[in-house]
Copies of this chain bind each other. A is one copy, B any other.
Amino acid sequence: MCEILLEKKDMLEKKYGFNYTVVAISDIMKGSVYDKNGLDVAKILNLVKNGKKLDEYPTGIKGMDSLATIKETNANTIVEVTFTDVKTGEPALTHIKTALSTGKNVVSTNKGPVIKKALNLLDIADSNNVNYGFEGVVLAGTPVLNLAKYTLAGNIISGFKGILNGTTNYILTRMEEGMSYDSALKKAQELGYAEADPTGDVEGWDALGKVVILSNIVLGKKLSLEDVKREGITGISIDDIKKAKAEGKRWKLIGSAEVQTDGSVKAKVSPEKLSFSDPLAGVCEAVNALTYFTDELGPVTIIGPGAGRRETGFSLLIDLLEINRKSK
């Protein structure tokens, strides 16, 4: 994120009238630094790359913790990028609530608070006349949330269906080519797609979080993790995949939700056999995709990256540019 801001500073100013000054950085491992007149981001990146702490930055105030940084600095926007805890949402939830309540914009890629408290946090943002942007929590920098909110505005979106987890899609793509599940998983781990304990991905937990987020944000329904049926890909055998192939079909792990006629929402994560006329069937490798079902346009699908350090960092810029647009 810092790298993108630095590399694109001129372009962002020229094309979008977007100016920024980074005044503070706080990290639980690397320490913190604050200078109300601004920090030299290039210098900081250099420090960190060389394994040094922020205390070694030549000027500024050191030692403020994250909450002090949020409350006591002159920042008008907080970039929240702590680790994700989907069970409690913490520590991000407190960070974000504090920032919004004290009249600061927040941009964040942290799924936890969005899963736990999205609508509540958006209300706090509204009543303090600030913004809470989290484009990156679903499909990284692929702009699915802004797509629904702005570019599809005027439609009624009655449901969605998507490939919301890149790791499982990568594994299924390899299995489609004949590789065993175990080898495909190992390869995904080597490439950094899957973690040592792959449960979060392969059992559908990651996709589940995204279904909850999309149901809340896009469909406006209050769903929790417990409300969604979940099944991962571990039950799919090479044989199942071959059989599907013979029928001209492909297995994909699909997260979906559909508003019912009584206003309730039916949501689930499960493997589905798609025919090739479904745009999601052609989405291979670690790529993600999402189809919205709209009243005016029918199905509209967007396909793009669902993870990646730079791609996720970029999502923060989408949110910052949106705040910048609104402030004009």
Chain A residues packing against B (C-beta within 8 Å): 4, 8, 11-12, 16, 140-143, 146-147, 150-156, 276-279, 281-285, 287, 289, 296-305, 310-311, 314, 317-318, 321-322, 325
Contact = CB atoms under 8 A, between A and B. Distances in A.
Contact of A143 (B151, B305, B318): B151
B296 A304 contact: no
Given A154-B321, A279-B287, A279-B289, 6 more contacts: A142-B300, A143-B151, A153-B318, A153-B321, A278-B282, A301-B301
A325 to B, nearest CB: 8
Given A16-B153, A146-B151, A276-B282, A297 B303 contact: no
Nearest to A143: B151
Given A146-B150, A154-B318, A276-B276, A311 B299 contact: no
Instruction: Tell me the number of copies of this protein.
Output: 2
B300 A303 contact: yes
Contact of A314 (B4, B11, B297): B297
Nearest to A135: B151
A154 B296 contact: no
A322 B297 CA distance: 18
Contact of A301 (B4, B11, B154, B302): B302
Nearest to A299: B304
Given A143-B151, A284-B277, A297 B302 contact: no
27 contacts: A4-B154, A8-B154, A11-B156, A16-B153, A142-B297, A142-B300, A146-B150, A146-B151, A147-B151, A151-B318, A153-B318, A154-B314, A154-B317, A154-B321, A276-B282, A276-B284, A279-B279, A282-B282, A296-B310, A296-B311, A296-B314, A298-B304, A298-B311, A299-B304, A300-B302, A300-B304, A303-B303
